[in-house]
Amino acid sequence: MFKTQSIVVIFIVLGWVASATAQVRVMHYNIAGYQGDDTAMRAVLAAMHADNKMGWAQPVDIFLFNEVNNTAWPKIIAAVNASAPAGVTYTAGTYTSASGETSASGAQAMFYRSDTLTEIPSGHADIFSGASRYCDRWQMQLKGYTSALSKFYIYGAHLKASTGSTNEEVRRTGMVAIRANADALGAGAICIFTGDFNFYSNAETGYTVLIAAGNSQGIDPYGNGNWTGSSNAWKQTQAPLVVGYNNMVGGGLNDRFDFIVPSLGASDGHGISAMTSTMRVPGNDGIHYNTDINAGNNTYYSPDITRSNILADNLGMASDHIAQLMEFQVPAKMSALLVNAPTRVIKSALASIEVKVQNVAPYFNSTGVEPLLFAVACTGSVLGTASGTGPLSPSSISKFVTLNTSVVGTATGSVNVTSSNEGVETPSISLPVSTQVVRSSNPSLDPTADLDSVTLLLDTQSDLGSVTIDAGVRNHLYDSNQAKLDIDSVSFTGTAASRLSLASGLGAGLTTGTHTLRFELNTVGLTPGPYAAVATVRTSDEDILGAASRNITVNFDIIVGSSIFGDVNGDNMVDAGDISLILLDFGHCEGWCITDLDQSGDVDSGDVALALLSLT
């Protein structure tokens, strides 16, 4: 007896990940020739997308249906498309219906999510499995992957029904044919066996063939133990009602006829692999043994009883079987890059290169992607090894290698990141390194020689305002293998320190040529007499790894004369003593000279004449 007369469909709003291969959700369902209610069937399929019993929901990636006859075929196509979440589309896999299959309940059909999977049509096969039925084999490829191990086979079969040794033998021979086909694919083949196998217990010979040793040995996610009785009610798939809806099979929920069984190659935890703990029968809460699945309250989505009851009602009217769901892990996807790899460094610098690795496979739940194991090796001037596990994006892990900077020139090499994970996308990434190793800059105060200190002589008078004096700085012997030179700061010490300043000359990136440091001496109110000062010029290499600073010094010897014109000796008068000093200083004047009264560049008779005119 149904608790409700109307069919209610619950849609859960989910943030679907579109156009990205995440873990694969597989559904198997015997639809009983589509004898049930169409609205209920669509509601059940929608519930398979929304099922979050494992902690997450995702659109079904592969639908496997049994009993799809010629009448049911267009109906199930429409139901799959109508129940699909927004933005998710499905493509029908190769569909074959041999003569006689319609009268034998119908053929097998497969639909796949077209943004996550591709069918390889050449991999399709029809395998006679007895009772006028054929098992279909489809070959699938994960989108976004290129490895041979990102391909897999999925089988859909409907074996002979009913008890009795004759029927059991037909099931056994059918499974022998299926296993022979799968075993012929070779060791490690990734296969998923699905279907209404009609096995009544784990003692059936057909079941023992399914799980027998061999290349494609079936690994039952429930284990190989018995599945009958009330203690195993949660595994059972037929029938959802004691009295079948619309003349479908009844009897209550007491048989496990329907299976999703991965092969050994799909159960090893590597690459495409079954997440065995996710095997479930949505709507079967384990407490409706031998009765209607919707008798009283259903607790499958406990504590959401309303949602559970609605699913149970829909299951009873959609088919005389219950669908199964199982999630499959997908291979890792490796991404690796170098972070801030230096392009120029100073010779002998401690140069470390960061290698950032992550697993960029999309996922609904982190357990649905194989952990990415990787190793790092280097060539050429790059040194070091490393290994680790790359976390899922957006997280990443960093490993560090070093660069040999002992030789000036171009240091080349590569950082090679590899993964031996099964089916991993981009298993090898080579990251080239090319770094110019340069000498340190070499500041010099001489145009031709390497000179770290120079003395400048300055004769001036008080109250002349600001008097300038220049010093030239070069990056000595600069070429492309030498660091550029930065002039960072100047500080002063000595008796004239408070009167000296740098007018201009700080700069960065000096290569060839002479750079001028222009100093200023403030002579306003400066008492005549001798002064000394030292300008400490702090220079450094350009801002690259290994940059260092070094100082050069400019020494100043300063004579300050009187502000009275012609008072060369600073005694506040112009007399014979000043004329004598001018005569003693006759000749060419380098720079500014106190005795060069007419600033002609020479101390000569013209200066004597000016002094005579200024006698006091």
| 553: CB partners within 8 A, 6+ apart | 452, 453, 454, 534, 535, 536, 537
Could you report the per-residue pLDDT of 208-249, keeping only the tens digit for each?
A: 999 999 999 999 999 999 999 999 999 999 999 999 999 999
Residue 297 has pLDDT above 60, yes or no: yes
| 400 close to 353: Cβ distance less than 8 angstroms | yes
Overall average pLDDT of the 31-56 stretch = 97
| DSSP helix/strand/coil, 165 | helix
Task: Return the CATH superfamily for domain 24-329.
Answer: Endonuclease/exonuclease/phosphatase (3.60.10.10)
Residue type, 181: N
CA dihedral 609, 610, 615, 616 (to 10 degrees): 170
Q: How many residues does the chain have?
A: 616
**Better pLDDT: 478 or 100:** 478
Overall average pLDDT of the 565-585 stretch = 85
Distance CA 551, CA 539 (A): 6
Token representation of residue 350: 């401690």
Q: Which contiguous run of DSSP H or E holds residue 395?
A: none
- How distant, in Å, are the alpha carbons of 147, 179, 331, 375, 425 from that of 420? 12, 29, 11, 9, 10
Distance CA 88, CA 19 (A): 8
Could you write out the DSSP letters of every residue in 50-64? H--TTS-----SEEE
Q: What is the pLDDT of residue 101?
A: 75
Q: What is the pLDDT of residue 462?
A: 87
| 110 close to 136: Cβ distance less than 8 angstroms | yes
Residue 562 has pLDDT above 80, yes or no: no
| DSSP helix/strand/coil, 579 | helix
| Topology of the domain comprising 442-562 | Immunoglobulin-like (2.60.40)
Overall average pLDDT of the 465-488 stretch = 97
Could you report the per-residue pLDDT of 11-34, keeping only the tens digit for each?
A: 333 344 444 557 999 999 999 999
- HEC profile of 62-89: EEEEEEECCCHHHHHHHHHHHHCCCCCC
Distance CA 531, CA 497 (A): 9
Residue 59 has pLDDT above 60, yes or no: yes
Q: What is the pLDDT of residue 353?
A: 97
The terminus-to-terminus CA distance of the chain in angstroms comes to 136
Q: Which runs of E-coded beta strand occur in 215-297?
A: 258-262, 273-274
Which range among 197-211, 260-274, 453-467 shows the weakest confidence by mean pLDDT?
Answer: 453-467
Cross-strand bridge partners of residue 346: 438
Look at residues 97, 315, 65 and name the one whose alpha carbon lies nearest to residue 196: 65
Question: What secondary structure letter does DSSP report for 569?
Answer: T
Overall average pLDDT of the 543-562 stretch = 94
Q: What is the pLDDT of residue 589?
A: 83
Token representation of residue 288: 């409706």
Buried b (16+ CB within 10 A) or exposed e, 232-255: bbbbbbbbbbbebbeebbbebbbb
Rounded (5°) CA angle 185-183-139: 45
Distance CA 306, CA 269 (A): 36
| 29 close to 80: Cβ distance less than 8 angstroms | no
Q: Which CATH class is domain 564-616?
A: mainly alpha
Residue 295 has pLDDT above 60, yes or no: yes
| 320 close to 238: Cβ distance less than 8 angstroms | yes
| 408 close to 399: Cβ distance less than 8 angstroms | no
Overall average pLDDT of the 531-536 stretch = 97
Q: What is the pLDDT of residue 163?
A: 96
**Better pLDDT: 460 or 222:** 222
Q: What is the pLDDT of residue 409?
A: 98
| 89: CB partners within 8 A, 6+ apart | 81, 113, 114, 115
Instruction: Indicate the pLDDT class of residue 593, thresholds 50, 70 and 90.
Output: confident
Instruction: Indicate the pLDDT class of residue 598, thresholds 50, 70 and 90.
Output: confident
Residue type, 120: I
Residue 553 has pLDDT above 70, yes or no: yes
Distance CA 268, CA 274 (A): 8
Q: Strand 500-504 vs strand 466-475: parallel, antiparallel, or unpaired?
A: unpaired
Q: What is the pLDDT of residue 7?
A: 32
Overall average pLDDT of the 390-409 stretch = 98
Distance CA 307, CA 314 (A): 11
Look at residues 385, 369, 382 and name the one whose alpha carbon lies nearest to residue 417: 385
The crossing angle, in degrees rounded to 10, of helices 305-318 and 38-50 is 130
Distance CA 522, CA 24 (A): 82
Q: What is the pLDDT of residue 103?
A: 67
Write down the residue that tokens 């319609």 correspond to: 102
Token representation of residue 595: 């005795």
Domains 24-329 and 334-438 are alike in CATH topology? no
Exposed/middle/buried for residue 610 (C-beta within 10 Å: 0-12, 13-18, 19+): middle
- Mean pLDDT, the chain, whole residue set: 93
Could you report the per-residue pLDDT of 127-171, keeping only the tens digit for each?
A: 999 999 999 999 999 999 999 999 999 999 999 999 999 999 999
Domain ranges (residues) in the chain: 24-329, 334-438, 442-562, 564-616
| Topology of the domain comprising 334-438 | Immunoglobulin-like (2.60.40)
Distance CA 300, CA 311 (A): 9
Residue 316 has pLDDT above 80, yes or no: yes
| 105: CB partners within 8 A, 6+ apart | 33, 66, 67, 69, 133, 158
Could you report the per-residue pLDDT of 505-525, keeping only the tens digit for each?
A: 999 999 999 999 999 999 999
